[in-house]
Amino acid sequence: MTLFILLLMPLLGGLLAWYSERFDAGLPKKIALLSLLLCWLPLIPLLSSMPFDASSLPRSQWLIDESYPWIPFFNINAHLALDGLSLLLILLTLLMGLVALSSAWHEITKRTGLFYLNLLWTLAGVLGVFLAIDLFLFFVFWEVMLVPMYFLISIWGYEQRHYAAVKFFIFTQAGGLLMLISLCALVGIHYQQTGILTFDYLILIQNPISGDLAFWVALGFTIAFLVKLPALPFHSWLADAHTQAPTAASIILAAVLLKTGGYGIIRFVLPLFPQASIQLAPFMMLLGVIGIIYGAMMAFVQTDLKRLVAYSSVSHMGFVLLGCFAFNIYALQGAVMQMLAHGISTSALFVLVGMIQHRYHTRDLNELGGLWLNLPKLSAFGLFFGIASLGMPGLGNFVAEFLILIGSFAQYPKLTILAASGLILAAVYSLLLIYKTFFGQTKRPHDSKIADTNTKEWCTLISMCFILIYLGLHPQPFFDLVPITLMKLSFIADDIGALL
């Protein structure tokens, strides 16, 4: 029951936080904090016994596997399983949940109970996505995480929050509908070919479907995940959602919701549709390269800090798409590392943007400048995370992008060279962000009433600094957690030369 308890914690905590508002408006955030801390309890025995050594890891892919009957008529089970890949993303989700809670602690003052209900249920949906092995259950959690995020943007967002929330909902629901159609087609074709009606990933993966329909089913799944990644041309919801969302929602969006797209490709598309994935690979990698360059160029011309960081996410997640379809163990390891490092660094930038907006009531780069003189601690954190975003050696982002480029070059050298140009563009928009915000001409006189980072903000940001440094200087423990999962995918590389 370990994994089911993990899911129940935020679900029940959200309901309790909602109910508690009638007694005290400050009680919901305390209950939300307690709920997130309790989510760590089921993982403590696993983390304490984990050797973090590839030679001594269990040979089985799954560290925990739990299944209970749910809808027996259709052979649908409540099947949850945890392996190294999902463990890393769950740890990222719980950490970023605490960061989001920290940013919302003083920012959210209205309808606090409903806010923390939606925040915790969004996190519960994400945890379910990373744990569900039954595809129908996976789809249920895929939808669960979207509805609360819609309310987070629509109720607690900024001026055009309703437009941004509806746009987010339409894009993601369209992707969800396509996934449902593809899921039913996959199960139906598998039933025709094997006589087994099942939604269980572990059974479906043993007999990958074949034929012309397999390509279209794989394409349906892929597009659904590309919407969430997001990749061109399904990216336009992201900038509006980030710009209008409260800081906590932006953190959850950047840190974990986008990662469900990359996770879905690695977990479902590549192993369930190996031949179709090979056929899709050149086009998907081209989309990744275009996304890297386009996102960087769009970030360069933004004057709104939030939109700049949002478009940088489009560029960074293009590297994830590139690494996923390279069918190379180094590129796949880099894609996983990029999801982790991007989740930390971009979330930290959104935290900083929220802090700046809270103090100066603007995100316009033309109205900022010279903040180092007024807010030296905040500016120092901004310098660090800006440099991390551009891929400075010694930090996690560099390790991720280096591995992706090395792994991709073996299969698609020309596309990889184009993708490498995105690193130059990343340096341009990152340095522009740093200069226009923290250096340059001071546009605001010193105000002693505007305080620098407080203890809570300092502890939150410094912890994220240490995580990025650890990812950059000692990434091997994280690589050791996912070799079994990724090695099962990299075998496809042997067939690429013959089929392309």
251-281 residue pLDDT tens: 999 999 999 999 999 999 999 998 899 899 9
Percent of the chain with pLDDT over 90: 65
* Per-residue pLDDT at 444: 64
Instruction: Please work out, in degrees rounded to the nearest 5, the angle formed at the alpha carbon of residue 347 by the alpha carbons of 483 and 153.
Output: 115
Q: What is the pLDDT of residues 340-368, one digit of tens each?
A: 999 999 999 999 999 998 888 888 888 88
Q: How many CB atoms lie within 10 A of CB 382?
A: 25
Q: What is the pLDDT of residues 192-219, one digit of tens each?
A: 988 889 999 999 988 888 778 889 999 9
Cis peptide before 233 (omega within 30 of 0): yes
**Is the pLDDT reported for residue 77 higher than 60?**
yes
Helix (H) and strand (E) counts in the chain:
25, 2
Q: Round the CA-based radius of gyration of the chain to a whole number and report it.
A: 22
Q: What is the pLDDT of residues 414-442, one digit of tens each?
A: 999 999 988 899 999 999 889 888 887 77
* Per-residue pLDDT at 499: 42
Start-end of H helices in 80-133: 84-107, 112-131
Cβ–Cβ < 8 Å for 70, 33: no
Amino acid at 119: L
**CA dist list (Å): 105 to 27, 152, 266, 273:** 11, 15, 35, 44
Amino acid at 165: A
Q: Which residue has the tokens 């409260």?
A: 246
Instruction: Provide the CA 22 distance to its chain's centre, in angstroms.
Output: 34
Q: What is the pLDDT of residues 304-322, one digit of tens each?
A: 999 999 999 999 999 999 9
Crossing angle for the helix pair 112-131 and 146-156, nearest 10 degrees? 150
Cβ–Cβ < 8 Å for 324, 332: yes
Tally of residues, the chain = 500
Q: Evaluate whether residue 23 is within a structural domain.
A: no
Q: Evaluate whether residue 402 is within a structural domain.
A: yes
Q: Evaluate whether residue 188 is within a structural domain.
A: no
* Per-residue pLDDT at 59: 55
Q: Evaluate whether residue 10 is within a structural domain.
A: no
Q: Which residue has the tokens 């992201």?
A: 238
Q: Rounded to the nearest 5°, which phi and psi values hold at 368?
A: -105, -175
Q: Evaluate whether residue 463 is within a structural domain.
A: yes
108, containing H or E segment: none
Give how many domains the chain has, as a whole number.
1
Q: Evaluate whether residue 190 is within a structural domain.
A: no
The torsion of the CA quartet 321, 347, 119, 157, rounded to 10 degrees, works out to -100
Cβ–Cβ < 8 Å for 429, 296: yes
* Per-residue pLDDT at 500: 42
Range of 431's domain? 279-500
**Per-residue confidence band for 45, with pLDDT thresholds at 50, 70 and 90:** confident
65's tokens: 């596997």
Cβ–Cβ < 8 Å for 189, 209: yes
Buried b (16+ CB within 10 A) or exposed e, 89-106: bbbbbbbbbbbbbbbbbe
Q: Evaluate whether residue 438 is within a structural domain.
A: yes
Q: How many CB atoms lie within 10 A of CB 60?
A: 9
Q: Evaluate whether residue 264 is within a structural domain.
A: no
* Per-residue pLDDT at 446: 59
Q: Greater confidence, 369 or 292?
A: 292
**Per-residue confidence band for 488, with pLDDT thresholds at 50, 70 and 90:** low
Q: What is the pLDDT of residues 228-243, one digit of tens each?
A: 999 988 999 999 999 9
* Per-residue pLDDT at 193: 87
Among 143-147, 215-219, 243-247, 444-448, which stretch is predicted with the lowest mean pLDDT?
Answer: 444-448
Cβ–Cβ < 8 Å for 288, 265: no
Q: What is the pLDDT of residues 159-187, one digit of tens each?
A: 899 999 999 999 999 999 999 999 999 99
